[in-house]
Amino acid sequence: MPARQLRWLLIGNSRWHWALEGAEGLGGERPPYFLHLPPPMAAEEPPVAWAAVGPVPPQAALPAETRLALEDVPLADAPPWLGIDRALAGWWAARLTASPVLVADAGTVLSLTRVDGCGRFAGGRLVAGAALQLGAMASGTQDLPALEGGLASAASGELWPRDTAAAMTQGVVEGLAAAVLEAGRQVRSVEASCRIVLTGGDGPALLPLLRRSPQLGEDVLLHRPDLCLEALMALRPCPPPVGAAQASPRSSRI
């Protein structure tokens, strides 16, 4: 009988993010692969561990005992209102870099989360993400179009597009990149060793714009597309023992 494939789940605001154990490699490793799917999707097998910042549909039937709550993430000084995705990303980025970090999670919301050199939550900022900005422009004006595909739907690569849809996407992505760059400049003026860790679904669109800055070389800017899932796997690397109890989950938000 084949062994069960291990999986981990983070329920976001607009996607379900899965980490699945991969095929065994030459050295015996089983590297994970990642899937980002629209909700709702019932889990065929219960995940090793899961967390949620978005709505959890009842039909998902996810076990409460394997849900991670904010208090399960060892991020010092995390306030009780902090979203578990921000806590996971900040804690794991600081562990990966062994330095102060500014995590830029470019998802439904662009969250900027700062962790100091002692591994303590040090504040952050929230900015409407690309899809929210594009949707607001379409719904709040008479003539601007609704772009179903988000940033990818009208990307042209031009700095100054003539087409309306491309102008919308270029304006949004430039604005988000500028927000990350300015936040990074401010943090690094206080903590020069601070690394910037980029993650989230719109990270690939922001990455080339951030790379234009001479201050953000490979030693400063790190791209980890699946940072939160990596953190989830690091905290719960294997299934809990049968009958093991965990703290009751509590809700969290971005």
Question: Which of 142, 131, 88, 91 lies closest to 109 in space, CA to CA?
Answer: 131
Q: Give, in degrees to the nearest 5, the angle at Cα 36 between 109 and 83.
A: 40
Q: How far apart are CA 11 and CA 229, in angstroms?
A: 10
Residues belonging to the chain? 254
Residue positions annotated with a catalytic role: 85
Q: Which long-range contacts (CB under 8 A, 24 or more apart) does 214-217 make?
A: 215/184, 215/185, 215/188, 216/181, 216/184
- 10 CB burial (10 A radius; 0-12, 13-18, 19+): buried
Phi, psi of 7 (to 5 degrees): -150, 150
CA 56 to chain centre: 18
- 214 CB burial (10 A radius; 0-12, 13-18, 19+): exposed
Question: Which of 198, 193, 182 lies closest to 219 in space, CA to CA?
Answer: 193
Contact of 114 with 101, CB cutoff 8 Å = yes
Q: How far apart are CA 68 and CA 79, in angstroms?
A: 16
**Which are the contacts of 246, defined by CB distance < 8 A and separation ≥ 6?**
65, 66, 67, 72, 240
